[in-house]
A = this chain, B = another copy of it.
């Protein structure tokens, strides 16, 4: 099971992950990225590259399944305006044993951060916005996976 979804409406992490629990595996790992409650931030706005985004997320899942023995993997990513506290991204993997699911989940979110064509900007309480800068620490984490 390999599922990629871009959502323009609110996502429910548990609903995105439901199918993974039914694959007969013993391990289910997930990561949810939420809009952090940072000073003055009311929401983030996510822009993406339709078409390339889906292909990019699918190829991340292909890379993960080539590297680890997985029964399934899911990536769901929000676009548009997402309020503080709401989910932006959900990554989930299922495998027979835990090492594979745990590592594949970390791999998928680390690579997504540096490869998938999404851009976010922060909206502030005073009505201003600011593009988020890419972080060198994200590059470093992604490179750990070779």
Q: Is B105 a contact partner of A109 (Cβ separation < 8 A)?
A: no
> Please, what's the 1-or-0 string for A79-123, where 1 marks a CB less than 8 Å from any CB in chain B?
000000101000000001011011001100110000000000000
Is A27's CB within 8 Å of the partner chain B? yes
Task: List, in ascending order, chain B residues with CB within 8 A of A106's CB.
Answer: 102
Q: Which of A22-36 contact B (CB under 8 A)?
A: 22, 24-36
Query: Which A residues between 1 and 38 are near B, CB-CB below 8 angstroms?
Result: 13-14, 21-22, 24-37
Q: Is the CB of A32 within 8 A of B24?
A: no
Interface residues on A, range: 20 to 34
Interface residue? A141 (CB, 8 A): yes
Question: Which of B25, B28, B31, B102 lies in contact with A28, CB distance below 8 A?
Answer: B31
Please state if B36 and A25 are interface contacts (CB–CB under 8 Å). Answer: yes
Q: Shortest beta-carbon distance, A29 to chain B, in Å?
A: 5
A98 and B109 contact, CB distance less than 8 A: yes
Q: Do A21 and B25 have beta carbons less than 8 Å apart?
A: no
Whole-angstrom CA separation of A32 from B110 in the bound complex:
21
Whether B37 pairs with A141 at a CB distance below 8 angstroms is no
Q: How far is the CA of A110 from the CA of B13 in the complex (A)?
A: 24
Which residues on the B side are within 8 Å of A110 (C-beta)? 98
Q: Are A31 and B101 in contact (CB under 8 A)?
A: yes
Interface residues of A (CB under 8 A from B): 13-14, 21-22, 24-37, 85, 87, 96, 98-99, 101-102, 105-106, 109-110, 141
